[in-house]
């Protein structure tokens, strides 16, 4: 009979993995290093995580934190709040470099890339839900693909924070949301 997985060992592994990523980067991350730093045997690590990539992504996810679903009853306000939270997440010290390394690794490692796509889909769920509520409220044309709308909203965040290394000035996220909502608004049928 197999023993149940230990929550204490799981927490030790994640803490050690996060520390290793923060101090050594992705290239310095190994299961051996996590085992040594956490005091948890490699066999136990592999009972919790199927691969080093799965452990690495769990540590990265835990480092960044969660973005909850925001539903205030005002879809525009929800979208603004979500984008502000995404910006504050990637603006944490050291995370810009970490995100760049993650994107590079995802492009070069198929297994990591597949797992990373799953994490991205999970992270975008609150945004997708907010977009669905905006569609239901009549703010977005229901024939437009939700993923396209999400890309229109979060693409500029990536461009500004990651590529341009810039920050959003007060009111710019609101302008971004308003521009996108205008672009994807339902088209009025011409009067007969």
Per-residue pLDDT of the chain (192 residues; tens, 9 = 90+): 455 567 888 889 889 988 888 888 888 888 999 999 999 889 888 888 888 888 888 888 877 777 788 999 999 999 999 999 888 877 776 777 777 788 888 888 888 888 888 888 888 899 999 999 999 999 999 999 999 999 999 888 878 777 666 677 889 999 999 999 999 999 876 666
Structure tokens at 49: 């995580």
Structure tokens at 54: 């799965």
Specify whether 52 is located in the same domain as 97.
Answer: no
Residue 138 to residue 142: CA distance in whole angstroms:
8
- Residue 101 · residue 26 · CB < 8 Å: yes
Considering only CA atoms, give the Rg of the chain: 20
pTM of the predicted model as reported, rounded to 2 decimal places: 0.78
pLDDT at 1: 46
Structural domain harbouring 29: 7-62
Specify whether 43 is located in the same domain as 114.
Answer: no
Residue 140 to residue 180: CA distance in whole angstroms:
9
The DSSP secondary-structure symbol of 187 reads P
Cβ contacts of 174-180, under 8 Å, gap ≥ 24: 174/80, 176/83, 177/76, 177/79, 177/80, 177/83, 177/153, 178/76, 180/149, 180/152, 180/153
Specify whether 36 is located in the same domain as 95.
Answer: no
The domain tally of the chain equals: 2
- Angle (CA) 120-126-128 rounded to 5° is 80
Residue 79 to residue 58: CA distance in whole angstroms:
26
Residue 68 to residue 130: CA distance in whole angstroms:
11
Task: List, as one string, the DSSP characters of 137-172.
Answer: TTSS-TTS-HHHHHHHHHHHHHIIIIIS---PPTTH
Residue 52 to residue 190: CA distance in whole angstroms:
57
CATH number at residue 99: 1.10.357.10
Specify whether 16 is located in the same domain as 42.
Answer: yes
Specify whether 28 is located in the same domain as 120.
Answer: no
């Amino acid at each position: 009979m197999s023993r149940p997985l230990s929550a204490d060992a799981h927490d030790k592994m994640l803490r050690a993995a996060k520390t290793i990523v923060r101090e050594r980067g992705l290239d310095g991350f190994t299961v051996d290093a996590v085992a040594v730093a956490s005091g948890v045997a490699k066999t136990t690590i592999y009972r919790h995580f199927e691969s080093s990539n799965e452990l690495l992504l769990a540590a990265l996810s835990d480092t960044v934190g969660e973005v909850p679903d925001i539903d205030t009853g005002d879809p525009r306000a929800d979208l603004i709040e979500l984008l502000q939270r995404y910006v504050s997440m990637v603006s944490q010290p050291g995370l810009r470099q970490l995100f760049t390394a993650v994107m590079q690794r995802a492009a070069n490692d198929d297994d990591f890339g597949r797992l990373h796509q799953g994490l991205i889909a999970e992270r975008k769920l609150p945004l997708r839900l907010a977009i669905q509520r905006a569609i239901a409220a009549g703010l977005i044309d229901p024939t437009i693909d939700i993923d396209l709308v999400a890309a229109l909203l979060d693409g500029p965040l990536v461009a500004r924070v990651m590529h341009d290394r810039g920050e959003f000035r007060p009111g710019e996220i609101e302008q971004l949301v308003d521009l996108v909502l205008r672009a994807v608004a339902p088209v009025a049928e011409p009067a007969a």
